[in-house]
Each structure stands twice: as structure tokens, then as C-alpha cells.
Structure 1
Amino acid sequence: MPSPEKYLQHHDVEALPNGNILMIAWELQSAEEALAAGRAPAAIPPEGIWSEMIFEVRPEPPTGGVIVWQWRVWDHLAQKDDAAGNARRLDINFTGSNPNVGSNADWLHLNSVSYNEKLDQIILSSRAWSEIWVIDHSTTTEEAASRQGGRYRRGGDILYRWGNPRAYGAGTPADQKLFNQHDAQWIAADLPGAGNILVFNNGIGRGYSSADELAPPMDLSGGYRLEENGRFGPVNPVWTFGATAGPNFITQTAGGTQRLRNGNTILCLSNANRVVEVTPEKEIVWTLNLGAGEAGGFTFRANRFPSDAPQLAGTEFSGIAPTVRNAASMVQGVLAPGALAVASGTPGAVSVTDAGGVTRAAAITGSSPETVTFQVPSQTGIGPARLTVDGPGGARQTRDFRVNDVSPGLFSADGDGEGVGAVIATVDGPQGRVVQPAYILDPATKTYVPSAIPFAGSVYLSLYGTGFAISDSVREVTIGGFAVPILAIARLAELPGIEQINIGPLPAALAGKRNQQIVITADGVASNAVEVSFQ
């Protein structure tokens, strides 16, 4: 690229079918050049302004490449007086919603480029103007600098634009549809919605981000019709998702979208480090939370590839490392032989490799679209271990964890390792034996709350958990700080990995006490605490 002081490639590139590459580049215009072109003096920073260009480069490895075509914004400007109603030119004094235009040299901020081979057109996204633009790629470089020539006979002028008709004097803020968008693209010919335009609409100032699909008003030749009101249609997208996705469904910067072969759509919420897949009926069917990590998190764009895609030939899939937790306590990273565990990520065949290098298949006891529950093989050696989940299509996920002699965990009624315990009480009183759960569902909150156990005789509890039923481990159970006798401990043969411990009789001092914490200690390792209440 010539003169790095004047040109700077940024944001996005697009590979063309002929092997060439389209790239976005800033083009520095000095303050004097901007003033001569009609830019208002108050809107010119001292260093000048960064206009935009598109270069087409033919790679010539290993030394670099050759520019074979280019298009410049600077060749298609209009003054404010003649920009109104001129939808094919770009108003040099339009500043979008930027309140600090006089200090912002990046007045256009292109952030994506996409190519349509059938139409030989390029679509660009201007974040600063909240618009997408379509230009003709069939022109020569000379024609691209003019207003005539090329397949559509308009040279390098704008063929189509959408999102903010105020940018060409044909609307008001109420007519704006895009809000600092990213990743504008044509939907490919072999995908549902072929020929339509898909764009990630950040929704800045609107309160939510969305994927918007629009059907541009194209004639048979591939040209675009202006409406009688001087605007390009359509009035609204033919499909959109985001408004009903709930709170915090927004990314202030970046973002991306992708149409899949099954008709679903991927959305990447960059600031949230989250990727979702949504159906045409607007149901989220898959979510990937990449997590912030110690240094923060940010995902510029996300695209899904089938595992047999030619671009991935020879790739060994490892996937996103799943989390591995005690299925009862939800404590991460430490398990015991025979314990029940839950791993996040795509379900599949599970195996555990122990410190001795022995790999054993793990019994799967349940799964959901985002988790798999399994029992750690009882012969697993103590020390570092590795979980491997082999999913469909060759996808492989791995996670290192540690195997200790014990990893005590107690189940809570809600299954999150907190709050009221999954506890069954037996009360031997004057009226005979009464068995009742220590929890009840609150219909208002759809969560479990304590059901107070009556102290009308001898009270015994059955607790359920995992990771503590090792034959030679030393165990202790306390409730509200009171030690309680242990009657029996057993692994439930019909429920692999789940262990039961029966305790009692409970000390009378617990009568009338609410929200008392139960803790199991095995070989000096304490479990999570769950709660129980008494009348």
C-alpha cells in the first residue's frame, strides 16, 4: 500500500473468487484539502480528516501484492446544499450523531466489506453514519472515480444505501433504522434468504442489538429503485431479532451475524463475549458464553463452520474447554473417584485420563444441549486428570482437573449447591412415623424454599450428595454447628454417583431454628453448605 503516512488499512478484508483481496483503508486528507472540498471549518480537526478507500489487491507472495482496483469516498462528495435529495453522493458535512465532530478525524468509520459475485457489487458499512452503502465493482479504477461507466452506468456513485435517510436529506431522526451497525453482508445464494442483506445492528441509543435482514428494492438488472419520497426502501427489515431477547442484549462496539444452512442466524455480542443461535421463529437454541477471564473478554466476530468444511481439513478439534464441576456442590475443578460431575459444552462421549496415563470411559447419566452429567470412573488414580468430550462431527473438548480422595458435595433442592438442601426428614413422634421433604416449591418465584421440620419426637435426616462415600474416609456432619451422629452411608446403586448419608437423632437444641447450615466434612475437607429449618 503506498504512503503509510496517508493510507492505513483497518477493520475488514474480503477474499474474492479470483483470489484477490478487498480491503478497507483510511485515506488522510489534510485540513487544507478538506476545506477545499467544502468541509465546514469547525468540523476539521487540525490534523485533517480520515476519508475512506477500498483497495483490491492481487497477492504476489512472498513479497506482497499489487493494487489492481480502487474506489475513493473523496471522489463522490456533495456539498450540503446539493446533497439534500442526492442519494447517490456523500455529504461532506454530514456528521451523524457525533457531538464532537470537530475533534474526530474518523468521520465515516467503515467497519465491514462484503462482495456479491453475481451482481459484482460491494457492500460497505459506515458505523459513524449508521448506513450501509452498495457500490459497483464492475468499473475500472478510472470509472470508479467518476459518475458514469460500469455495469450499472453510475461509475463509483452510490448504487444503494439504507439505514439513515437523514444522511442524504431525505428523512429525520425518526426515520433512522440502523444505529452504529457492523458486519453488513449479502446472504449467499445457497442459504435461506439468498440475495437479501444481513446486518448486525448495534442499536446504540435504542437499548438493544439485533440482526436485521432486509430485501433491497432491486430491479431485474441489479439496480436499485428510489421511492417517490426520495428514499431507498424497504421501510423495515423482513426479519429481525433482538428486541425480545431480554435485558442486556446489546454490544456497544463491534458485533457480527451469520445466516446458517438450517435457516438459523448467529449473533455475536462482542462486549458481552457471547454468541447465540436463533431460529427464524426467534427462539434462542444455542448460547456460547466465552467468559471474561482475568484480562477481560471481547470477541470481534464469530462464524460457525461445519466440522467437514474444507477450510478446516486436517484440523484437530479441541473446542472451548468445558468447565468441570462437582454435580452437587457445583465446585469447579476437583472431583473424587466415583463422584458425579457435570461438564459444560456440547454433549458427547466422555472419558477421563488419570495421572497414570490410563484413559477410561465415563458413564453418562444425563445431558442437555449445553451440559453433560457423568460419573468419574471409580478406578481413576489420584492426581492431575484430563476430561475429554468427543462430540458430533469430530468436535473435541478437553479440560484438566484434579482427582482427590474425597470431594464432598451436598445437593440443594434447586440443584445449584446453595440454599435449601435436598433433604428428607423422618420424624418418629407420638402419632407414629412421618416422612417429609425439607423443601417446598414457591409458586411465585419458582424456586425451592425450606419446609420447616416439626420437632415432635426423634428427628432423622437423609442427605444426598457425591464425593464422600469412600470407605476409609473420616466423616463428620454438623447442623448449625451441632455435631450429629452418622447412622449410615451408601452409594445408591440405582443412581450412579449419588450418595446418601443418614444422620440423627438431631439434638433438641435445633428445635425452632430456621435456615440452619448442614456441612459434611470428609478427611478434613468440608462440603458446600445447604440449609434446613425446624419448627
Structure 2
Amino acid sequence: MRANIIFKIVFFALLSLLFCFSCSSDDITDEKKIDQEVVEDENVSPVPVEVVYPIRGATGEVLDYDQDLSKDGLVLINEATYDRVYLMQKDSAIIVHEWQLEYGLGNDVELLNNGQLLASLGVVSPEFSFGGFGGVIQILNPDSNVEWEYTLSNEKYLIHHDVEMLPNGNILAIVWNLKTRTELDEIGYLGNQEKIYTESIIEIDPNSSEIVWKWDSWNHIVQNVDASKSKYGLVNENPQLININYVDILRDDENPDGDIMHANGLDYDEDNDLIYLSVNNYSEIWVIDHSTTVDESETSSGGRYGKGGDLIYRFGNPNTYDNKGNRLFYNVHFPNILDEDVPGKGNILVFGNGNGGSKQSVVYEFNVPSQFNLQPNTDNELDVVWEYTREGLYAPRVSGAIRLDNGNTLITSGTFGVIEVTDAKQVVWEFQGDGFYWRTYHYNFDATAISFLTE
């Protein structure tokens, strides 16, 4: 199967190389050269071809490529600027497959093991919207035909940003929830907005298109400004609850658009039945118990961890709950639990955008404890076991990182492109694109997710 995939890819690579070598010398700015074998036919002996980097592809340039240290495979690019999703060859930036989308990107799109595409897409005319709005989830076949579609977009609710398929085939999605001024007055909200939008997570069964589970942040908030109102409590004594009046130094304290939390990414930990949610305007990661029933998720008891829908843990910005510890995140994206197929199993990668004074993005790998013990007035921040940054790495929005099975880390910088680094932090592949990038996913040549390329 891999030989067939390579044959298809290399055919396009040869066309690209012919084009590149016909360009003027002004298009070649790097003296680095590597040898690469190009096979036109399985029965023909390999012919060495000298490849010069940078090399121009359809949507950007491969600036550098170390064939020995980079992980062999294809990358799936989510390019938000032009609403494009495509599989790209790493050595030449040649697109080997692209999907035609009915709607614009609502951000996350990834390949499933069966070769279908799971996509969060943006409805044409939402009743309200913020950055990363969606409204539509689709499962698409390789020929771009829609296999399944689910829409949640009205004046009260809107799907946005990220989607995740669970092992049972159900789909998790993030949803904005409208809260009116009357509701806000009842709980002592300090902002002046007439309405705000809080976050919830829903689980959809594609077989019935029904919501079978839900978690709502509104059920787990605290305010310490008015004892006569509901949800009152001391913020620093309730780390499991969300301070509805928290205002980060990174945003206007009026926050006129009402998107006060702005969750932007989620991941599911199958071993512990937990959901990790990145919350950009709080600059932290929330850990939520997925084992609860729908009723338990509205309370502070029940579920595997006995806390209902209260936060099992949180990290990245202890200021949100008046706690001890050092703040690491100044805006944050893509909590990514490392699975058993990659080094660091059980740890978590997080992209810290770095919108504070440093204007420096950092990819962090945290050690996740075997048991969570969220305590008040205690340093609850996780230990950093690996991190990566470099001069000029700064993406104020989107972005993320994944771990490859050879130990390398693939980093998407939303305003730049993609880089692959080793555990020793050596850059072994670098792609600078023309677009704005949500995430990049990597697929080995023998991955079943890309087996449709041989059909």
C-alpha cells in the first residue's frame, strides 16, 4: 500500500521539481542540498535527484527538510484564510488530495481512521458569531460527498471551534450559550453587557443526531460580589468553580462582544474518561468529568470523580481563581493528550500563544498526575517536562502541536506555517505558507486514514 501511495505522490513531485528547476536562480535562496530517491516505477531502479531548498509548492514553501530525522508521512492542513483542507507531501509541499467544502471552515478538520473527514464548518448567516464560529458539523467521504451533517445555530446556541470523535462514534462539540441581562443580574455579574455567551460541551450520537450528554459551565460558576445573589462564594476557596466575573489583563474589562470565556479546543482522555477544554479568555485548561450522567453534570456530585460537573482540575493561569502558582498561559490553544502510540504517553501538549509582554509563543508538554487533587490556596500548576520556542515564534491566535511516533513534535504556528522539531529541539522540517493555519495533523504512509489514496 505504501508503495502505491508513494508512486502517486512522486508522480506529482516530479512535475513540481521540473517546474522548480525551470525557475530563475532568484527563486533559490538556500544553498542547502540533499539527495532524494525518486521512483517512477516499482520495476525501475531508483534515480538520485538533487533537491534544492527552499522549494515552492502550491500554497507555500518547504524551507528545510531533513529526510533522515523528519517523520515520513503526509500532513493534513487546515487553511482558514482560503477555507481549504488538503493532504500535503512534506518534501515538496505538493497537494495530493483536497476536499471541496460546502461551507467555510469553523476551524477543526481531521481525518478519521476510516478515511472520512470530520469537520467543524461555519454556517452562512449565523444569528451571532465570534472568531472561530461554526454551526455545522459534517462527516465527508474522500470524494467530498457529505455522509452526515448536524446543525446547531440559532439566536441562543452556536457550535464553534473544535470537534472530537469519541471511541464509541459519538461526537463532542463546543457550544456558545446565550445568557440574558436578567439571568446575569440574578447571579451578580459585574459586566455591562446586555447579554453574554458562556460555554457548554455537547455529545451527539450520529446515528440519531440526538444530544446524549451535555456539560454547561453556567451550572458551575461562582461570584463573590453580592451575597444576596445566587452562586455566591469565595473564589479562592472554590477552585472547582468558575469565577464569572474574572477579567484577564489581555482583554477589555467591558468585553463588549459578550464572548467572555471563548473556549477553543478540546481533547478526550479515554483512559480516564475526562475532557480537556482550552479556554482562551481565561488562559487556562479546564478538566471535566465525562463519566457523569446528564443530571449529574449539572451538580457538584456524582460521576467517576464524585464532583459532578465541577472542574476536576485546571491549570495555566492561577489568577482565575485567586490561587498560588506561576501563570504560564497568555491565551492558549489545543490541549492534546498524548496517546499510547507516541513518547510521553499520558502527558499533555498545549500551545501557549504568548500574548503577554513577551509576545513569544511556547509549546509546553506537561506531566499529568495519576490522580487530580485540586486544592484551594495551593500551587496546582502542572510540571513542565518539555517545551519549545525559538526567536520569532509568535502566533497570537489559533495554533497547536502534536507528537509523532518517532518522538518529534509537529507545531502549527497560525500566522506562519508548520515546523517539525526533534526532542532535542532541532528543526527537521519547516513549511511557510500563504494562509492562516488552525492546526496540522500528521499521517504515516501506512495509516488506514489515508488508504483511500490507493483506491
TM interval, shorter chain, is: 0.5 to 0.7
Q: Is the partner of 1:304 in helix, strand or coil? A: strand
CA distance in 2, matches of 1:190, 1:73: 32
Residue 289 of structure 1, CA deviation: 1.4
SS at match of 1:313: helix
User: Partner of 1:233 in structure 2?
Assistant: 381
Identity %: 38
Q: Secondary structure at the match of 1:286?
A: strand
Instruction: Give distance in 1, aligned partners of 2:253 and 2:453.
Output: 47
Q: How does 1:240-259 map to 2 (within 5 A)?
A: 240-242=387-389, 245-246=390-391, 248-259=392-403
Give yes or no for the alignment of 1:269 onto 2:269.
Answer: no
The answer (yes or no) to whether the contact 1:125–1:132 under 8 Å persists in 2 is yes
Three-state SS of the structure 1 residue aligned to 2:218 is helix
State the secondary structure of the residue aligned to 1:151.
coil
Measure the CA separation in 2 of the matches of 1:100 and 1:87: 22
Give the structure 1 partner of residue 202 of structure 2: 55
Q: CA deviation at 1:77?
A: 0.5
Deviations 1:489-532 (A, max 9, x none): xxxxxxxxxxxxxxxxxxxxxxxxxxxxxxxxxxxxxxxxxxxx
Q: Report the equivalent of 2:368.
A: 216
Displacement, 1:309?
1.1
Q: Which residue of 2 aligns with 1:69?
A: 213
- What is the aligned-residue RMSD (CA, Å)? 1.8
Rounded to whole Å, the distance in 2 between the matches of 1:239 and 1:232 is 18
Among 327, 351, 365, the alignment partner of 1:200 is 351
Shift of 1:157: 0.4
Contact 2:324–2:378, Cα closer than 8 Å, also in 1: no
The answer for the alignment partner of 1:12 in structure 2 is 162
Q: Does 1:129 align with 2:282?
A: yes
Question: Match for 1:196: what amino acid?
Answer: N
Match of residue 186 from structure 1: 337
Q: Say which is worse superposed, 74-83 or 255-264, in terms of deviation.
A: 74-83
Taking the aligned partners of 2:164 and 2:216, their CA distance within structure 1 comes to 17
Q: Which residue of 2 aligns with 1:309?
A: 447
Which ranges in structure 2 are unaligned for 5 or more consecutive residues?
A: 1-150, 225-232
1:289 corresponding residue in structure 2? 432
1:125, distance to aligned residue in structure 2 (A): 0.2
Match of 1:118 in 2: 271
Q: Report how many residues are paired.
A: 295
Q: Deviations over 1:412-458 (max 9, x none)?
A: xxxxxxxxxxxxxxxxxxxxxxxxxxxxxxxxxxxxxxxxxxxxxxx
Structure-1 separation of matches of 2:214 and 2:284: 21
Decide whether the 8 Å contact of 2:240 with 2:312 is kept in 1.
yes
Given residue 266 of structure 1, which amino acid in structure 2 is its aligned partner?
L
Q: Is the 8 A contact 1:34 1:44 kept in 2?
A: no
One-letter amino acid matched to 2:212: V
Counterpart for residue 387 of structure 1: none
| 1:212 counterpart SS class | strand
Q: Which residue of 2 aligns with 1:30?
A: 180
Deviation, 1:189, is 1.9
CA distance in 2, matches of 1:169, 1:100: 17
Deviation, 1:2, is: 6.5
**Counterpart amino acid of 1:212?**
Y
**Which of 240, 247, 252 lines up with 1:95 in the alignment?**
247
Bigger-Rg structure (1/2)? 1
Give 1:178 deviation, angstroms. 1.1
1:299 to partner: Cα distance: 1.1
Q: Secondary structure at the match of 1:300?
A: strand
Secondary structure of the structure 1 residue equivalent to 2:219:
helix
Q: Which runs of 4+ in 1 moved over 4 A?
A: none
Q: How does 1:456-475 map to 2 (within 5 A)?
A: none
Instruction: Give, as a single letter, the amino acid of the residue that structure 2 aligns with 1:58.
Output: D
One-letter code of the match for 2:373?
Answer: R
The CA distance in 2 between the partners of 1:27 and 1:311, in whole Å, is 34
Structure 2 partner of 1:299: 437
Native 8 Å contact 1:216 1:233 kept in 2: no
